[in-house]
Amino acid sequence: MGQNDVQDNGRARGPLGVAVVGAGYWGPNLVRNFQACDRFRLRWLCDLDEARARRVLGGYSTVQTTADLGEVLADPEVDAVAVATPAGTHLDVALAALRAGKHVLVEKPLAATYADGLRLVEEAEQRGLTLMCDHTYCYTPAVGRIRELVLGGELGELHYVDSVRINLGLVQKDIDVLWDLAPHDLSILDVILPEHVRPVAVAAHGADPIGAGQACVAYLTLQLSTGAIAHVHVNWLSPTKVRTTMVGGAKRTLVWDDLNPGQRVAVFDRGVDLAAPQEIGAEERRDMLISYRSGDMVAPALAEREALRSMVEEFAEAITTGRPPLTDGRSGLRVLDILEAASRSLAYHGAVVGLRTGH
């Protein structure tokens, strides 16, 4: 089924049939939001533990459950499949769905490796199907506003992005803190950067002070194509939870504090200006080139809206119009590129590693 088949078949004006695969940690959130969106009709919840799938749906649900992915993919009423299984299975499940002609939404990360992610992107492109990555944070009202301000030039040319995502979190057995937490920050960076600004290289440092077997604290530094810099700090061992991002521009600086619902985003007209040499006399000292600007702070009003609801609606819009979603497969691939390069950098004690998608 290609992009236009959804519009051309007998159910053109009806809701899109969707199946969720995976009833574990994230699956129930997808189930709830697909059921609440009138552009979808949830038809299946598939999990290897079918009893768990039934528990998620509750006793009165008309949604079918199964442990057999083949049964879901054989259903002609299913237009799209949402994959919420462990990352190591994303390739097999998503590839099977694409080959069955279904549009696919994949929980982050897109795949376990860049090579696997590329296979999914190419398969979807060849078949004219929507492939979308569920980078949920990109659909928050705060990130939407940050994207508008950056792309609209309100902040001026970007100088730096600094992101902190730390908490006393669940130490994972199979992935390090970079792969667990940094996808959020990297996907946000991907959607807020202007078209001409791209990460080109990364250096990463990490530590495992508790002997967990993988990095529990990590620092990621990205070189951007314009000479600007982006930094991400992720940590499972912090006694306090911090989620802040600072976006510094030539005109203004934006601070996003995700844990402050009263003022999530603040824009400061404060910064440092450097006068051009011709603007001052030759006899003046070098430090006279620098001037400090201290203006107003503005806190834009943000609508309170669940990010997953917006993400689900973006998936529907992409399927029905044929346009790429905000966080399409290519976006997921760029995040994987940075994560793999960061892992190589970690292994080589912070060496700078170039990115595939940085050119």
Distance, in Å, from the CA atom of 192 to the CA atom of 324, rounded to the nearest integer, reads 16
Give whole-number Cα distances, 125 to 58, 131, 241, in Å: 37, 8, 40
What pLDDT is attached to residue 302?
87
User: CATH for 5-129, among 2.40.160.20, 3.90.700.10, 3.40.50.720, 3.20.20.150?
Assistant: 3.40.50.720
Read off the pTM.
0.90
Contact 237, 172 (CB under 8 A): no
Residue whose C-alpha is closest to residue 45's, from 84, 100, 102, 96: 84
Strand partners, 83: 21, 106
What does the domain layout of the chain look like in residue ranges?
Answer: 5-129, 138-305+337-358
DSSP-based three-state secondary structure for 234: strand
Identical fold, 5-129 and 138-305+337-358 = no
What pLDDT is attached to residue 348?
96
For the chain, 359 residues long, give each residue's pLDDT as a single digit of tens.
444 444 443 345 689 999 999 999 999 999 999 999 999 999 999 999 999 999 999 877 889 999 999 999 999 999 999 999 999 999 999 999 999 999 999 999 999 999 999 999 999 999 999 999 999 999 999 999 999 999 999 999 999 999 999 998 888 878 899 999 999 999 999 999 999 999 999 999 999 999 999 999 999 999 999 999 999 999 999 999 999 999 999 999 999 999 998 899 999 987 676 666 655 555 555 555 655 666 788 888 888 889 999 999 999 999 999 999 999 999 999 999 999 999 999 999 999 999 996 44
Give whole-number Cα distances, 49 to 134, 176, 219, 260, in Å: 23, 27, 37, 38
Contact 84, 105 (CB under 8 A): no
Residue whose C-alpha is closest to residue 338's, from 129, 147, 119, 188: 188
What one-character-per-residue DSSP string does 49-99 give?
SHHHHHHHH-TT---EEES-HHHHHT-TT--EEEE-S-GGGHHHHHHHHHH
What pLDDT is attached to residue 175?
87
Strand partners, 254: 247, 267
Q: What are phi and psi of 79, to 5 degrees?
A: -90, -30
What one-character-per-residue DSSP string does 103-118 give?
EEEEESSS-SSHHHHH
For the structural domain made of 138-305+337-358, what CATH number should be given?
3.30.360.10
Contact 30, 308 (CB under 8 A): yes
Query: Tokens standing for 62?
Result: 């008309």
